[in-house]
Amino acid sequence: MIILYTSPGCASCRKAKQWLKDNQLPFVEKNIFTTMLKEDEIKYLLSRCENGTEDIISVRSKAFQQLDCDIDDLSVSRLVEIVKQSPSILKRPIMISEKNMVVGYDDDEITAMVPQALRKVVENACNESCPNYPVCGKVRVS
């Protein structure tokens, strides 16, 4: 199951939501402003960041800049507290599944939300013996 963290008025969130629908991937949408994020949930999101907390924290947002601090100086508990008080510091959308996390909307990166087993089916579906290979199969190889 995919959890999609969104906010109202976010064009990238709408694109991500539509992409998930178009690709028939089940998801639960959580509006970060109307759904109170729990401490454990925020810690889990932070723990999934591969390159540090700036993966999901927008240090350029007004809300974060008003804090007048360096993100590297904040403890995890303080950062969790800040996110609970000002969820607008989170980048959006955030899509998270058991194995993947994608922040923002990017046509290439969002494909990580397709389960690996399904990706293998697609990869193996069109090979040189397929009559449509000259049209679609070679495009994926290029």
- Give the residue from 27, 42, 124 showing the smallest Cα distance to 90: 42
Q: Output the pLDDT for position 117.
A: 65
pLDDT at 140 > cutoff 60: no
Is residue 51 classed as helix, strand or coil in its secondary structure? coil
Q: Output the pLDDT for position 15.
A: 96
pLDDT digits (tens, 9 = 90+) for 8-57: 999 999 999 999 999 889 999 999 999 999 999 999 999 999 998 999 99
Helix axes 76-85, 39-47, angle to 10 degrees: 120
pTM here is 0.80
pLDDT at 129 > cutoff 80: no
Give the catalytic positions in this structure: 10
Structural domains of the chain ordered from first start: 2-113 (3.40.30.10)
- The residue assigned the tokens 């390159």 is 51
Phi, psi of 6 (to 5 degrees): -135, 175
